[in-house]
Amino acid sequence: MLSRRRLLHGGLALGASGAGIAALAACAGTLPPTDTAAEGFGQEATGTVTVWCRAATQTAIHAIATSFNELHEDLQVAVLPIPDAQYVTKLATSIRGGSVPDLVDFDLINCPLFSVRDAFADVTELVQALPFRDSLSAGHIGLVTHEDRLYGIPFIGDYSTLFANTDLLGAAGFDLAEVSGSLESLMTTCQSLASALPDVHAWAFPGNASGAMGFTIQPMIWAAGTDLITGDLGDQSGNIVGNDVVEAVLEFHRQLWVDELVPQRSFVEDGAQWGHDYRSGDVVFLPSAYGPAVAEAEEGFRPISQNVLLPGPDGGTATFSGGDTMCILNGAPNASGAWMFMRYALELDVQRSLPTTGYMPVRSDSADAEFAEDYEQAVVPVTHLDEGYVPSTLAYNLLYNQSSSPWLAMIRRAVFDGDVPGAMAEAQSEYDRILTQTQL
């Protein structure tokens, strides 16, 4: 299984670029609509449900498909992993050719690329009828929504929070809850830690990993009620120049670098060793995911690695609601069976088992006492799914995930070169250019 560290390694998820864009442009409205309101839909289906999944996250869906198949003699789920970098192009090609899988499990940021092109079945009424509808991840729901209709369900989660080595923090006389209310408070704490604990670094970030920096820094901006993109899907532009919150977040990271509060290797860290220095006890604070901060750590370290939601410059909190969604294709041969499997994947017991595969639930009611005992640090994001967010845009991969992204260029110019105004101006121009090119 690829970890979140690999998933967010700069340039891994290429998404809709190059050939992907061309393939997408030709697949709009080519499939016959699936009638999810038909009598008996999603009940007593038989045969085989073909699911395409991301190769990077296949561990979760393989485990769930195996348990589903054991319970259903007449309906079996066949899972086909697709390399992440090929997924968008391969799916667009299959749609254009009229030969599609029943169900796709893929990165939630890619949902808008296909929902705006009428590729997915409308499951609005089915989702709204779920008794636990209000507990589903808000960030995931936002990405499967288009023009107030739902075209999929949340499946697995991966959330960013601020982790802290509470032993080191406590040794310096600080409490995580007390110092983490804002970036301003955290900066003051980091500067104090430099004096109190000269042998460790106060903070760490992978400064050359575009995806990881987006996963952990964007929530600091969202926490203040703003974003780097403005406008409705299909009519978007950058929201960078003149955005005081973006400037404050960049200045925060610039100060960490200037004051040597982060390791020098932050300059070149591309995500391959994300969290290693934190798990080794050499770093106090690490904005990250459950995997690098907890699951990949030695068991003895895990209890002292505690977390809170990521704060904004002056307060507020947010998390990046990463992970996967499931969507039924229009024209799917066994759409009814696909919904049966989707509904099963959202069952409480199934969701609570996800951490064993490396991922988090997408239902906030998953975090009962037993879950909290087994996965203590997962409780914070799972019980605050209403504070999760992901921007809905047709250009996410181009803006944030590629090593050549304007997001990473802005971070590096602002943080390492010290030119915050120039970095923001350049990013504004590039965001506008890319968004214009990818609009419908």
List pLDDT tens digits, range 143-202.
999 999 999 999 999 999 999 999 999 999 999 999 999 999 999 999 999 999 999 999
Q: Which residues contact 42 (CB under 8 A, 6 or more apart)?
A: 36, 126, 336, 339, 340, 343
CB atoms within 10 A of CB 240: 26
Residue 26 has pLDDT above 70, yes or no: no
Instruction: Give pLDDT, residue 23.
Output: 60
Instruction: Give pLDDT, residue 439.
Output: 85
List pLDDT tens digits, range 119-142.
999 999 999 999 999 999 999 999
Confidence band for 4, pLDDT divided at 50, 70 and 90: very low
Q: 305-308 and 161-165: which strand pairing? A: antiparallel
CB atoms within 10 A of CB 67: 16
Confidence band for 30, pLDDT divided at 50, 70 and 90: confident
161-320+393-438 domain in CATH 3.90.870.10?
no
Distance CA 237, CA 432 (A): 5
Q: Considering only residues 363 and 9, tell me which one the structure prediction assigns the higher pLDDT.
A: 363
The residue extents of the domains of the chain are 4-158+323-389, 161-320+393-438
Confidence band for 234, pLDDT divided at 50, 70 and 90: confident
Instruction: Give pLDDT, residue 21.
Output: 55
> Is-above-0.85 flag for pTM?
yes
Tokens of 268: 């070149």
Please provide the average confidence, as pLDDT, over all residues in the chain. Answer: 93
Equal CATH topology for 4-158+323-389 and 161-320+393-438 = yes
Distance CA 74, CA 391 (A): 40
DSSP assigned state of 329: B
What CATH number labels 4-158+323-389? Answer: 3.40.190.10
Residue 295 has pLDDT above 80, yes or no: yes
